[in-house]
Structure 1
Amino acid sequence: MIFLDAAATTPVRREVLEAMWPYLTGEFGNPSSHHSLGHTAATALAGARAATAKALGCRAGEIVFTSGGTEADNLAVKGIALARRAADPSLDRVAISAIEHPAVEESARYLERVHGFAVDVIPVDRFGQVTEEALAAVLAPGTALVSVMYANNEVGTVQPIARLAPLARARGIPFHTDAVQAAGWLPLDTGALGVDALSLSGHKLGAPKGSGALFVRGRLRVEPLVHGGGQERGRRSGTENVAGAVALATALTLAREASSVPASAPASEATSEAPASEALARRVASLRDGFIEAVLAGVPGAVLTGHPTERLPSVASFCFPGTSGESVLLDLERQGVVCSSGSACAAGADAPSPVLLAMGIDPEIAQTAVRFSFDSTVSADELRQAAAAVRTAVVGIRALGPTS
């Protein structure tokens, strides 16, 4: 099997399993307990928090451990907006991009439906990018929060977060970014990005499912979604998942050492800070570009979606007019290639992707979308085989006619 669906999930790394194993076995204590087992768990949790903070360039007290990216997004969008409106009732708007993950989109719609917020949608261009002008146009005196994802989970487009965030912060508006797909590929320094909140999910970078974190800057208030014992400084109650926190911190540390560089950085821009990181990102980006070239050359009419250069090293996404995206997926799996038609979180959806529609792609074309996403272990040979399989699948389906 050639696994090209890493944007959906990644295998747990051995180093991560080894780091978390003690807290699933002998060191099983509750970190809130006042005995030796509890103390050991609390020490491990504090270490994981410090390591996560180091990876994000922030303070340990600014990290909230969660069950994953979805919870982190919900806590950021709902928690920050509700807390800000509680302090100032005039703050009754949230601004989100047109291509947000459902965790952000549905959180904003919840605020609209249940709490009377207005949702301002920031349009994107045909490549799926938010421009500074587009963001500035929707900011209003009543905006409580802006949320723009760092890298899109369907087409891989990277947003210019370091240019967008200051526009909001200059108006006193907190800026949140969903960095779930960016982790492991792009810089996560929250100071350099200028963000006030940032969401992560462990299973996208080699930690188990069910681990995640939210960075919340300084004294920014957050209304908790989960109430109880007051863990995580009152921002997320419940006995902490110590093993999950250790796993996430270990995966982040490994990723920081190996692959945290801009997707679009030219090969000539090597720095002395992280040469191994740059080499890995350049290698994967080069393989991605070769795969894109092979697919476009081998499949007449294939359309690359997302930004041609400002994209994750690990994502290549296409539309194949004259086919069904699901038919292509089934044929590819028959040939031993596993990929996706888009977001794994749009469970059971058969409608055209809202992301592609927001980019101006015709609904009929959008339904032919296929996403290929790789981890850092992908090989040139695997991608050559995958490109050949894509050609075989698409040409075969087109030959069968529109009912295929």
Structure 2
Amino acid sequence: MRTYLDYNATAPLRPEARAAMIAAMDVVGNPSSVHAEGRAALGIVQTARARVAAAVGCQEAEVVFTSGATEAAGVLDGFGDVQVAPTAHDALWAHHRRSEKGASIYAMGVANSETGILSDLPKRDEAGWHAPEGTADFLMLDVTQALGRIPFAFSWSGADLAVCSAHKLGGPKGVGALILRRGLDVEPLSLGGGQEMGRRSGTENVIGIAGFGAAVEAAMRDLAEGQWQRVEKLRNILETSLEARANKTIFVGKAESRLPNTSCFITAGWKGETQVMQMDLAGFAISAGSACSSGKVRESRVLRAMGFDASQAASAVRVSLGPETTEDEVLRFVQAWLGKEEKFRARSAA
């Protein structure tokens, strides 16, 4: 029996999203067309836009649908000086550069995908945003891991831009959004027909957007009903159970504010990639703390930035739970992992 414990990579598709997508498949119109069929398709897009705006805490006109947070982060290329937080996702780091020309922007994650640690927002005054690398004119937030799991509102954050993806909260893969503060003038993500208020041309992915809207609405309902408090209790059971027997294992960020579902732990010398493969064979899907794009695994840049050495950074795994996770699944994982850890210690001592 397989047990999925990798929600931070992709959450299982919610039934609400599946139903919305199936219904959208029968809507033939192009949302840019003015006839009845086109208006029906546009209605699906606009309903989803309203749901995403309500979840993110912004105005509907500030939501620009994209293929995901990575594409949305491409808006950073329109800024001259791009400062990026050391623990930010690679999708933001890909645009990092220092320049004396053009407006400056600081990009950071609200919650780190590897460790779950929540970030403090920088302060802003008349000089701008006070980022670690210097003052920035604008602030971009990656809310991909935070959305639907912890209370957050774009409006009260004071940020200028934000990015998110549907598949982290039970929506389909390949759809997300750029949140753009109304009145902020930036370069379009793509040129062409002028869709998405001229911010991102190309016919909207109506089916994916429908799933996104349904998923984010369901995710916010889970948050309001306290589902993630239950998940946090399971995460604490996981860590307490592991810590009781694996006393050399380090639980990253345990004393800090974290996402309720995320546990990143390091057993020095036992490669994260090896642990992932062993647990996969045992029936559990987890990820290496250094999990990256295209299935590649490398030393975690995030953990190195946090001060862990190379061996530690290569020996991390992440377990991320979801609303469907049960206590029995957590305890079965604990027993399976501890069995492998005991064998690792025996080999190391030989």
Tell me if TM exceeds 0.5. yes
In the alignment, is residue 78 of structure 1 matched against residue 77 of structure 2?
Answer: yes
Q: Percent identity?
A: 35
**1:147 CA displacement:** 0.8
Q: What are the Cα deviations for residues 162-183 of structure 1, in whole angstroms up to 9, with x where unaligned?
A: xx25354587722111011111
Q: What are the Cα deviations for residues 108-151 of structure 1, in whole angstroms up to 9, with x where unaligned?
A: 2xxx3xxxx43xxxxxxxxxxxxxxxxxxxxx997611111010
8 Å CA contact retained: 2:263, 2:320: yes
8 Å CA contact retained: 2:290, 2:313: no
SS in 1 for 2:331: helix
Q: Distance in 2 between matches of 1:64 and 1:334?
A: 41
Q: Distance in 2 between matches of 1:372 and 1:286?
A: 14
Partner of 1:27: 27
Partner of 1:66: 66
Partner of 1:86: none
**1:253 CA displacement:** 1.1
SS in 2 for 1:148: strand
What is the aligned length?
A: 343
SS in 1 for 2:193: coil
Q: Distance in 2 between matches of 1:186 and 1:166?
A: 23
**1:12 CA displacement:** 0.8
SS in 1 for 2:88: coil
Partner of 2:151: 187
In the alignment, is residue 95 of structure 1 matched against residue 83 of structure 2?
Answer: yes
Normalised TM-score (structure 2) = 0.92
Partner of 2:166: 202
**1:335 CA displacement:** 1.7
| Structure 2, unaligned runs of 5 or more | none
Q: What are the Cα deviations for residues 91-112 of structure 1, in whole angstroms up to 9, with x where unaligned?
A: x42221101111100022xxx3
Partner of 1:52: 52
Q: What are the Cα deviations for residues 304-352 of structure 1, in whole angstroms up to 9, with x where unaligned?
A: 1135230001100101123121221122122211100035433354431
| Structure 1, unaligned runs of 5 or more | 82-91, 119-139, 260-273
SS in 1 for 2:204: coil
Of residues 366-375 and 46-55 in structure 1, the stretch that sits farther from structure 2 once superposed is 46-55
Aligned in 2, Cα 1:303/1:172: closer, same or farther, shift over 3 Å? closer
8 Å CA contact retained: 1:185, 1:312: yes
8 Å CA contact retained: 1:44, 1:246: yes
Partner of 1:152: 112
CA-atom RMSD, angstroms? 2.1
Normalised TM-score (structure 1) = 0.80
**1:252 CA displacement:** 1.2
Q: Distance in 2 between matches of 1:251 and 1:194?
A: 25
Match of 1:242 among 176, 186, 206: 206
8 Å CA contact retained: 1:165, 1:194: no
Q: In structure 1, give the amino acid aligned to 2:17.
A: V
**1:37 CA displacement:** 1.0
Q: Distance in 1 between matches of 2:297 and 2:34?
A: 51
Q: Distance in 2 between matches of 1:350 and 1:184?
A: 27
Partner of 2:217: 253
1:354-373 to 2 correspondences below 5 Å: 354-373=301-320
Q: What are the Cα deviations for residues 367-389 of structure 1, in whole angstroms up to 9, with x where unaligned?
A: 11110001111111111111111
In the alignment, is residue 166 of structure 1 matched against residue 124 of structure 2?
Answer: yes
SS in 2 for 1:166: strand
**1:392 CA displacement:** 0.8
Partner of 1:319: 266
8 Å CA contact retained: 1:323, 1:402: no
Aligned in 2, Cα 1:361/1:57: closer, same or farther, shift over 3 Å? same
